[in-house]
Structures are given as C-alpha cells and as structure tokens.
Amino acid sequence: MRQVFLIVSILCLIFLIEVSAVPLPPLDKYDITGTISEIKWYPQKTIKGIPKMSGSAGYDRIMPAHFIIKLTNYEGIDSETALRITKYINNEAFKDNDKPEKPPFILLKINYKKPNYLKKGMKIKVIGYTVRGDEGGTYTYYDNIVIY
C-alpha cells in the first residue's frame, strides 16, 4: 500500500512540474493609456539557467533593463485582462480572493535602458503592449510609448 501511495505521489509531482512549465496563455496587443502613480527601474541582469529545466529556465538569459510601473486612471483594456497582466508582473499585487470589478491600477513592465525616461505623474499611452513568458520569466513587448 505504501509503495502504491509513493508511486502515485511521484506521478502527481511529475504532472505538476510539467503543468507548471506551460507558457503563459497568449495575449493580444493592447493600447493602454494611464497615469504613472509608482515607478521603479531595474538594470539589465543575466539569469543563469537551471540544468534540465524546460523552456527558457534551462538556459542562461538576459533580463533587459526595465521599469515596473503602476498605472492608474487607465483605459484601453478590460478589467479581466488588466487583472491578468498585473498578476503576470506581480502575482501578489491583488489577493486571490480580491477580484475588483475594475482593478484600481494595472502593473506594466516596460523594457528601457535609460532610468530617467519615465517619471511618476506622467500620462502615457503604451501602444501594442503584450506579455509572453514561461517558467523562466515574464517577457513584455510594446510597439511605442507616447508621453502626454
């Protein structure tokens, strides 16, 4: 009986590892307008791969320099997608049981080398924003940023 339990447990663990390696579901491109209420810039860094991991986690990769911005008074995206994108950037931004009708903010990751490009209080439009990723990280892309 113990051996059966052990085998079933190992199979469940293998299944969970395989499921967690699935890439993020694809998102369309969105044009998102809002006001930057919080901002933090991170320099480029290299992340070492983890041997035998699937997807990008198995390879050395470069995380480009980027901002994490909190946009308030945003528009151009529905509530469900705003919540989904925010959780991709920071899974703890909202509590699991806290699903506001319209989240009060959205978090965006904006790749950019210069730390003084964006500032708190700016109204911006991020054109063609999308998120991709897998167990190795979350990667964001955009076509352009318009500063008002």
| Alpha-carbon gap, residue 92 to 86, rounded angstroms | 9
Token pair listed for 116: 């003084």
Residue scoring higher pLDDT (97 or 42) = 42
Work out the burial of residue 136: count CB atoms within 10 Å of its CB; fewer than 13 is exposed, 13-18 middle, 19 or more buried: buried
pTM of the model: 0.75
The SS3 call for residue 64 is: coil
| Alpha-carbon gap, residue 26 to 88, rounded angstroms | 12
Taking residues 121-128, report their average pLDDT. Answer: 97
Number of residues in the chain: 148
The SS3 call for residue 92 is: coil
Q: What share of the chain is helix, strand, coil (3-state, %, to 5)?
A: 25, 40, 40
Task: For residue range 49-64, list pLDDT tens digits in order.
Answer: 777 766 666 677 778 8
Residue 31 pLDDT greater than 60, yes or no: yes
Architecture of the structural domain at 24-147: Beta Barrel (2.40)
Residue 20 pLDDT greater than 80, yes or no: no
Residue 76 pLDDT greater than 90, yes or no: yes
* Rg value, the chain, Cα: 18
How confident is the model at residue 57, as a pLDDT?
65
